[in-house]
Structure 1
């Protein structure tokens, strides 16, 4: 279906968070997906990914994940300067601030006339971690995490005992974890630790490891795998239609 794109500035506990909204260009109420980006924020590949999901009948909200640390509208380049800045932001913003961002996004979605009350989350790289983190919120009924970083290593700032790995058992909705076997950011031992933790905590989750590098979904650069990306979009659409609709 055709889609509309809007920009909203959402109030959060830690400041204004610019969010792009992609939604079906037709009347009705639709389930919402919070789409968490890489460290580079709302790049062209991220907005294209959000548009694909919205075209399948979802309202997709893409927030600036480091809104406290950058001027509104900041998009980092896929180069060393952008990577260094994004990683610095990643290791500066506490997970608790991401939690309050998620709360604000859920409240925003449910206040819109074109949204129903069902909310899911999807994300790539650090956004995969933030999707996992969003699943700790009981309002998030489904979470599709693509090559989520920093869960196994517990390297993101947070209060003691409030890291995502430790709190995996608090996830109430359904979870999908997807990793590339050739991803150096989440090596085999890290993937195994996450799997074992989810199983031990009896989380309702699905697990997929594919032959791909980190960022295989990003439709720019040498690591892009178009066939796998298409498979993941199809899987995510089916997952959200089942868990949210």
Structure 2
């Protein structure tokens, strides 16, 4: 485990500045980078703790604020009814092209960062799982870790609720680690089958895991948190990242 430094950078996009929270191991070396996409609540305590733990394993972790064009920089939505409603509203207000631009901006920043080797993966949970998958369709992202990604099977992310992620999966060149909970109401069995069949038919390099767990089992707040499963799944992610970008 390495000690680390937390900071942030405000990056320019065509829709204003995007704050990216950085978790960088100390030591002055170069590290592979992981763009860590949050849930709809942005950089909450659980997200920051997960990012810090990942950075402690030897990765430069960057957490973008996905709703930067709608909320003041530094905004964190609460895990309550109001915060959930706002996050879900913005999820389908933001344009798909904006999500993709954010990834390109973050990738360009990391490739030039003095602490980055130039090797980049994406990782995300919930909404962020979907965004991590989309990141894997962009240049220079060579590995994707997606934990219970939402809306891929329905194609309902972004303004107009008409994303093309599922249709583009067969062309994914990045390696993919994807995990679901069987008791997750957001991605039922039929949705999981559709995603997996699309990956199989497309010849994508992917690894698939399902567990008896609810949605958001990784989040270390709330009744759905499963600490034992969180340890198991994070160890899967660390092994995957070591193989693909380590």
Report what 2:229 is aligned to.
228
Distance verdict in 2 for CA 1:138–1:169, change over 3 Å: farther
Check whether the contact 1:124–1:215 (CA below 8 A) recurs between aligned residues.
yes
Report what 1:146 is aligned to.
147
Report what 1:133 is aligned to.
134
1:210 deviates by: 0.4
1:112 deviates by: 1.1
C-alpha RMSD over aligned residues: 1.3
Q: Distance in 1 between matches of 2:187 and 2:49?
A: 25
Check whether the contact 1:138–1:171 (CA below 8 A) recurs between aligned residues.
no
Report what 2:10 is aligned to.
9
State the TM-score, normalizing by the size of structure 1.
0.97
Shift >3 Å, 4+ stretches: 158-162
Distance verdict in 2 for CA 1:67–1:160, change over 3 Å: closer
Report what 1:194 is aligned to.
195
Cα deviation code 1:154-202 (max 9, x no counterpart): 1113689851011112210100110000000000000000000111111
Cα deviation code 1:185-225 (max 9, x no counterpart): 00000000000011111111010000100000000001000
Check whether the contact 1:13–1:101 (CA below 8 A) recurs between aligned residues.
no
Q: Distance in 2 between matches of 1:162 and 1:46?
A: 25
Check whether the contact 1:138–1:173 (CA below 8 A) recurs between aligned residues.
no
Report what 1:181 is aligned to.
182
State the TM-score, normalizing by the size of structure 2.
0.97
Report what 1:42 is aligned to.
43
Q: Distance in 2 between matches of 1:158 and 1:194?
A: 22
Q: Distance in 2 between matches of 1:65 and 1:230?
A: 26
Question: Secondary structure of 2:7's partner?
Answer: strand
* Structure 1 segments unaligned to the other structure (5+ residues): none
Number of matched pairs: 245
Report what 1:169 is aligned to.
170
Report what 1:22 is aligned to.
23
* Structure 2 segments unaligned to the other structure (5+ residues): none
Report what 1:215 is aligned to.
216
